[in-house]
Structure 1
Amino acid sequence: MHGLDFRVLGPLEVSIDTRRVPVAAGKQRVLLATLLLSANRFVAVEELTERLWGGDPPRAPRGALHTYVTRLRQTLDPLAARGGDGPIRTSAAGYGIEVSAGGLDLIRFRDMVGAARTAGERGDLPAESDGLTRALDLWRGPVLPDVRSDSLHRDVVPSLVEEHLRTLERRHEVDLALGRHDRLVGELRALTGKHPFHERFWGQLMVALYRCGRPAEALEVYAEVTKSLRNRLGVRPGHEVRDLHIAILRDDPRLSSTPPEGEL
């Protein structure tokens, strides 16, 4: 395959043998990012046009798109492994980019999460936690902040962010089951500040505090999330967080035991 390494879990990066390769032109960056988010599949011309120009395409979008594909090839093809073709592919279905399993951080992330979950399914929770932690370490910040495409950030990026949050949730759940609650309090406090409407993190913070012998602080967290949701959205916390609040008030002994998968 190619000696190229691509990264999309943060700013867009291209490198070969640890050497960064600049992709300076804005439209080329949008094109490359769009292809990478559908790596090893073809992306229709209509979708690429939407990602590049939104609701204001040029008069001849296919010709303009072809020009950008040609320029991207000129950047990437010379970097391909000796004797190999460049990574950009063309078909009647549109355009695509071919990457190896290790050549894109998004693919590595998903493979690592899958392997971690397999370890968890066979009962090896420490291995699952370690695997999820390594996968999460691949994220370098917000997804593609340096790629200017309203369409991409509206239609594609939110699902990646949700995938990241679900993985964080699962790693917290595993660590709570392993009795690592003391390690989680600081991280969960930061996450509730960054994602104030993500109730799962609030609930996990309440559990972590309770298991650290700090039930009063856990109840303060419930008051905080209740106030935040009421003031910002006009709603109450969901039933899971409300039930957790009642369990803390009752000092429910089940809170000190390993929670079933999928529960707080």
Structure 2
Amino acid sequence: MRYEILGPLRIREGNKHSTINAQKVEIVLTVLLIRADQLVSLEQLMREIWGEDLPRRATAGLHVYISQLRKFLKLPGVAGNPVETRAPGYVLHKGDDTIDAQEFPELVDVGRSLLREKRYDEAASCFAEALALWRGPILGQGGNGTVANGPIVDGFATWLNEIRLECQEMLVECRLQLGRHREAVGMLYALTAENPMCEAFYRQLMLALYRSERQADALKVYQSVRKTLNDELGLEPGRPLQDLQRAILSGDTHLMAPPPPLAMSGS
């Protein structure tokens, strides 16, 4: 079985997907998946469902949701259930099942190591595979990778979103190192629109445009980010962006794309 929470929650068994229609049961399963193989207390689960304002029969309500979840996860002909009662709460045993939200940071870690070794093509494939797991924010809520739930779901979603931003930045870096600057331009325009305060994406976009013989467009990007930062925060762009603008204005040849790596013959 495969649990997918990088987007609207769904469970895949073979070629079939199933979803939970009850929002509170969805929240319970999401929390147990985030803490897979770890104890989650009754108090933690109730806070994720109701926040600080608990209803009178919150404990009884939680027991009902756990019962519904167990029925949903019960597989025909399989003994036992992945959700175990363990004082003072519950544990979801992953066993041989997989969780996309665990695979994602693992893929990013592998890609990061490959990038450090300058194995750009392999790293880019790893980052692209990781990003392909994303279908939207956890529980399908919010537009910026965070959700208005309790601290476990909200904190986990924020952590994953930061890793996703880093993954996107590293994927672009690989493409720039491989000389795929024209390929990176479209992706970077989308990333700067989605993350208007992230200067790293603007820097990469300026560099990709300059290497694509679009010096004027690269300088327009600088003016755009400068206006955004001034209007929103009263700040000037950081030193890396300022240095890049000056280098583009002076036609610095060091900004040109690095030569493609030589193919290594087998020994």
Shift of 1:98: 2.3
Unaligned runs of 5+ in 2: 259-267
- Show the counterpart of 1:61: 58
**Is the CA contact 2:12–2:18 (under 8 Å) kept in the aligned structure 1?**
yes
- Show the counterpart of 1:157: 157
The alignment status of 1:209 with 2:209, answered yes or no, reads yes
2:30 to 30, 33, 37: 33
TM-score by length of 1: 0.86
- Show the counterpart of 1:166: 166
Q: How does 1:9-28 map to 2 (within 5 A)?
A: 9-28=6-25
Deviating 4+ runs (over 6 angstroms): none
Distance 1:24 1:146, change over 3 A: farther
TM-score by length of 2: 0.86
- 1:234 maps to amino acid: G
Separation of aligned partners in 1, 2:15 and 2:132 = 18
Q: How does 1:61-210 map to 2 (within 5 A)?
A: 61-78=58-75, 82-92=77-87, 94-100=89-95, 103-145=98-140, 149-151=148-150, 154-210=154-210
Range with bigger deviation, 145-154 or 159-168: 145-154
Separation of aligned partners in 2, 1:197 and 1:55 = 32
Separation of aligned partners in 1, 2:117 and 2:220 = 37
Range with bigger deviation, 139-148 or 125-134: 139-148
1:14-69: CA deviation from partner (whole Å, max 9, x where unpaired): 12122122311111011111222222322233321211001211224333322211
Distance 1:88 1:126, change over 3 A: same
Separation of aligned partners in 2, 1:102 and 1:30 = 19
3-state SS, counterpart of residue 156 of structure 1 = helix
Distance 1:100 1:246, change over 3 A: farther
Q: What is the number of equivalent residue pairs in this alignment?
A: 253
**Is the CA contact 1:88–1:96 (under 8 Å) kept in the aligned structure 2?**
yes
% same residue: 34
1:50 to 47, 50, 56: 47
